[in-house]
Structure 1
Amino acid sequence: MKTRFFFLIFSALIGITLMAVLVYGRFLREERLINIDAQLRNTASALLDSELGTLRQIDFDRIEEILSEELGEDRIGKLFVIRNQKGEILFESTSAKLLPVMEIPRAPIWLTLSVKGKYVRILNLQLPRIPDRTLQVGLVLDDHLIYPPYWSRPSYILMAFAFVVGIVATLFLRLILMHPMNELSKFVTATTQKLSSSNEIPSLPKTIFPHYFFGKVALRSKDEFLLLLEGLDTLISKINKNYQITKIGTYQMAHEVKTPLTILRIEIEEAQSKKQISTNLADNLRKELDKVSELVSAFLSWAELENSNRVKNLYANHISKIVSEVITRLSINYPGQIQLVSSEDFFVISAPQHLELILQNLILNALIYSGRRSQVLIHFWKHKIEIQDHGQGIPQSVIDNLGTPFNRGLSEKEKHNGNGLGLAWVTSVCKLYNWKLNIQTGQRGTKVSIIFPEETST
């Protein structure tokens, strides 16, 4: 956008400059022609009022004297011709002899000729006291004085100057006009990147608003961009407020659900003891209550983790030890399906339960969605760990909402529905410790990698 804006403003400035030069040149030419006509008119009036207007006998020397007496230096560059009714030349000044005077008509009053690169302007007037005679007064100039060539050395210098001024002006205008837009672009980019580690959207910085850059004068009138910024700032405030309300309400609601679950469990035990329900039904009810209770507890734990700003009780954990414990525990239900391909031990600074939790979630997901006979491969070295499966991949809808609770996919082989909190846990833990989570998924499987900060040591 900045490049398009630069070329747009630059083209406009150059176009305006060239147009101004052309218009100004045309204006100067018109003004010069007006001055020429005024000179010829004044010269002719002076001669008509002189002895020349009544001189019936043509005397070359006397006419030259009259011209010199009446005009003085003003006769320089002008031509004078006196012709009879037949068009015959009775008198012509020295300057007129350089032109084909016989080809110059006696009408109309004003004539413009171009002869041998010369601009000739002629005024034809009849002598009032000698009607059969015509006085022709003319001015001879070089064509380039009236029609200056546009493609000349001065023109090139002017165009070069306009080009340099256009570039400087364009850069300055781009800096002034695009500054708020650049700040808004930086804000949106930075905010988008930080959303993975922050749930609230930060307010718009003051540097985005035009009045911060242009001064208080900009506050007197609100243009479309300022109205857009104010609307965006209001929208961000409302989103953050609604998020806080929803977060607090959801957290409290989950707490409130635990109480009726406890009461239901007691009621089931009492009904079973009184033989009001069968043992089989009581067991099924308890299982369903356990699922709901487990889900609520998992959600509350995730919410507490999501709202944590820092972690207490940090330890330097051996990655090899944590991985080994998780593999041993999961191999009971998935024997022979977990394979440790390569390992190079290093430390990870975290709460042990958090590191163990995300590894267990990732490996368990890989096992569930890969099928019973598929292998899950684990690599860890330096400050990175990779978990790779050969399942059908994670749906794009899950990837797009990564970190959102109850965001889950469906295993086609086992029709296993999770509670959608596993990846939410993983995302929240990585966000809490600034661990980098990468997911590459496709029809041939998924590879999840976590890159730990450089503070870990091998």
Structure 2
Amino acid sequence: MRLKFFLLSLLTLVFTSLCITFLLAYFYQSERLAFIDDQVRETATAIVDSELSDLKTYDYQIANALISEELGPDRVGKFFIVRNSKDEILFQTDNVSLLDVAIPRSPQWVTIEQDGRLLRVLNLSLPKFPNRTLQVGAITDSNFIFWSTLTQRSVVLISLIVGIVLVMTWFLSAQLFSPVRDLEGFLHEASAMLESKKDIPEIPHRLLSPPIKYLRRRDEFKSLVEGISQLVGRVNMNNKFTKSWTFQMVHEIKTPLTLLNRELERLQEKYHWEASENHEVQRQLNRVSRTITNFLDWADLANAEKPQNLHVLKTQAVVREVCSSIQRAYPDRLNLDLQADFQVMCNPLHLEQVIENLTVNALRYTNGPVKVILKQNQFIVQDQGDGVPAEVIERLGTPFNRGPHRSGQEKGSGLGLAWVFSVATLYGWKFTLINDQGTRARIEFPALDEAD
């Protein structure tokens, strides 16, 4: 945006400079031309009022003497021609013959540019001899009227001015967009906080109160910052209330479920029901209770600020131990490719749960083999299923985030990936989920010295 502003400012500056230059050139030309016209007009008036206009025949010496007597030094740079109705020259000064140029009798004012010289001529009819035309002109350099050349000094001066203006424009654009850059950084940070399910920090005070005094007046940018600040406050408040209501609702549900389980056991003992008669009821109650427990565990993990009970673990040993227990439930479907072994510092339960969740998810939602890969600082689970829906990947880290249930698949709660995402966020691991000939779930661990 700063570059766009700079380019727009530069284009505006160039356009304005060109307009001013053309206006100045037009004004310069008009004023110089008006000055010459005044000189020619005054000279013509003096000649018309002199005895030269009364002469019936023109002798060169007499006519030239009359002009010199009448004008004196003012005749320098001027020429005079008298023509009859047949366009024959009755008299002309010497400098006209040297010009070797044809001067027309009309219109009244004639401008001729030739070989770097400018001729400005006024055509007048002599009062006593209407069939005669008096042509009074001035000879000057074309540069006196038109800017045809630029000196090296002028070019250097113009380049210096343009350079200074460019530097000032770039500096001013940097100062002007400094708050915008700060706001952009804050919005990126706020977005990252929302993705990690944390409260958005307050907007920096420097954006609300600019250090430059005149910027403290109410303007559009300050109104925008104040609006964003209010929005941040409401989002944080809504998140706080939502978490509070959610936890309270979950606890309110968990208590009746516990009572229902006890009441079901009492009724079974009292009426001696067969186990098959209440099996489905018991299974559903256990499922709801397990989901609530998993949600509370995930909520505690998502709201944790620092990890606790840290240990340095050998990843290969943990993967073997977790996968060996999974293989009992899913025989002949799990392939291990343990290429490397590295250390990770974390809570052992968290690492085990991450490995179990990703591996079991892949086995549960696909029918083919699942490959577990351990290579340098990476844990990867690759399946050959249909892939994870795009809407699930977009909302990764949100509880109960799951795609449409397919026939023949187990129906999960959608808390497994949320758990993995929260653990990865807590420890600074990079968790990615990619659809590539199936689904590839990958955890990238930082080097142990970085994690430490």
Whether these two folds match at TM > 0.5 is yes
One-letter amino acid of the counterpart of residue 245, structure 1: F
User: Do structure 1's residue 98 and structure 2's residue 95 form an aligned pair?
Assistant: no
TM, length-normalised to structure 2: 0.85
Q: 2:400 aligns with which of 387, 397, 406?
A: 406
Match of 2:328 in 1: 332
Match of 2:217 in 1: 220
How far did residue 238 of structure 1 move?
2.1
What is the alpha-carbon distance in structure 1 between the residues aligned to residue 410 and residue 422 of structure 2? 23
How far did residue 84 of structure 1 move?
4.8
Gaps spanning 5+ residues in structure 1: where?
none
Match of 2:438 in 1: 444
User: Do structure 1's residue 205 and structure 2's residue 201 form an aligned pair?
Assistant: no
Match of 1:342 in 2: 338
CA deviation map 1:109-160 (0-9, x unaligned): 3233345654222123344466565432111234444344379978876875
Provide closer, same or farther for how the CA distance between residues 68 and 190 of structure 1 changes in structure 2, counting only shifts above 3 A.
farther
User: Do structure 1's residue 81 and structure 2's residue 81 form an aligned pair?
Assistant: yes
What is the alpha-carbon distance in structure 2 between the residues aligned to residue 17 and residue 347 of structure 1? 66
Provide closer, same or farther for how the CA distance between residues 150 and 229 of structure 1 changes in structure 2, counting only shifts above 3 A.
farther
Match of 2:148 in 1: 149
Range with bigger deviation, 174-183 or 231-240: 174-183
Range with bigger deviation, 110-119 or 272-281: 272-281
Match of 1:241 in 2: 237
How far did residue 436 of structure 1 move?
1.7
SS in 2 for 1:120: strand
Match of 2:17 in 1: 17
Provide closer, same or farther for how the CA distance between residues 350 and 139 of structure 1 changes in structure 2, counting only shifts above 3 A.
same
What is the alpha-carbon distance in structure 1 between the residues aligned to residue 100 and residue 317 of structure 2? 113
Match of 2:299 in 1: 303
User: Do structure 1's residue 379 and structure 2's residue 408 form an aligned pair?
Assistant: no
What is the alpha-carbon distance in structure 2 between the residues aligned to residue 273 and residue 444 of structure 1? 49
CA deviation map 1:175-209 (0-9, x unaligned): 24443443444344444445444523334435557
What is the alpha-carbon distance in structure 2 between the residues aligned to residue 107 and residue 430 of structure 1? 93
* Contact map agreement 1:405 1:421 (CA 8 A) in 2: yes
* Contact map agreement 1:409 1:417 (CA 8 A) in 2: no
How far did residue 61 of structure 1 move?
3.4
Range with bigger deviation, 389-398 or 71-80: 389-398
Provide closer, same or farther for how the CA distance between residues 116 and 444 of structure 1 changes in structure 2, counting only shifts above 3 A.
closer
* Contact map agreement 1:265 1:286 (CA 8 A) in 2: yes
Q: 1:417 aligns with which of 384, 388, 411?
A: 411
What is the alpha-carbon distance in structure 1 between the residues aligned to residue 394 and residue 105 of structure 2? 90
- For the aligned residue pairs, the C-alpha RMSD in angstroms reads 3.4
Provide closer, same or farther for how the CA distance between residues 201 and 71 of structure 1 changes in structure 2, counting only shifts above 3 A.
farther
What is the alpha-carbon distance in structure 1 between the residues aligned to residue 252 and residue 108 of structure 2? 107
User: Do structure 1's residue 285 and structure 2's residue 281 form an aligned pair?
Assistant: yes
The alignment covers a number of residue pairs equal to 451
What is the alpha-carbon distance in structure 1 between the residues aligned to residue 47 and residue 205 of structure 2? 77
Q: 1:120-269 maps to which residues of 2 (within 5 A)? A: 120-128=119-127, 133-149=132-148, 164=163, 167-168=166-167, 170-206=169-205, 212=210, 215-220=212-217, 222-223=219-220, 225-269=221-265
* Contact map agreement 1:47 1:67 (CA 8 A) in 2: yes
What is the alpha-carbon distance in structure 2 between the residues aligned to residue 17 and residue 387 of structure 1? 64
Gaps spanning 5+ residues in structure 2: where?
none
TM, length-normalised to structure 1: 0.84
What is the alpha-carbon distance in structure 1 between the residues aligned to residue 48 and residue 351 of structure 2? 113
* Contact map agreement 2:378 2:442 (CA 8 A) in 1: no
Match of 1:356 in 2: 352
Provide closer, same or farther for how the CA distance between residues 105 and 302 of structure 1 changes in structure 2, counting only shifts above 3 A.
closer
What is the alpha-carbon distance in structure 2 between the residues aligned to residue 104 and residue 339 of structure 1? 105
Match of 1:35 in 2: 35
SS in 2 for 1:370: coil
User: What percent of counterpart residues are identical?
Assistant: 37
What is the alpha-carbon distance in structure 2 between the residues aligned to residue 328 and residue 57 of structure 1? 133
* Contact map agreement 1:375 1:390 (CA 8 A) in 2: yes
What is the alpha-carbon distance in structure 2 between the residues aligned to residue 456 and residue 142 of structure 1? 79
Match of 1:434 in 2: 428
* Contact map agreement 2:429 2:443 (CA 8 A) in 1: no
* Contact map agreement 1:408 1:419 (CA 8 A) in 2: yes
* Contact map agreement 1:17 1:162 (CA 8 A) in 2: no
CA deviation map 1:395-437 (0-9, x unaligned): 2222111111011246747421111111111111111111222
Provide closer, same or farther for how the CA distance between residues 425 and 130 of structure 1 changes in structure 2, counting only shifts above 3 A.
same
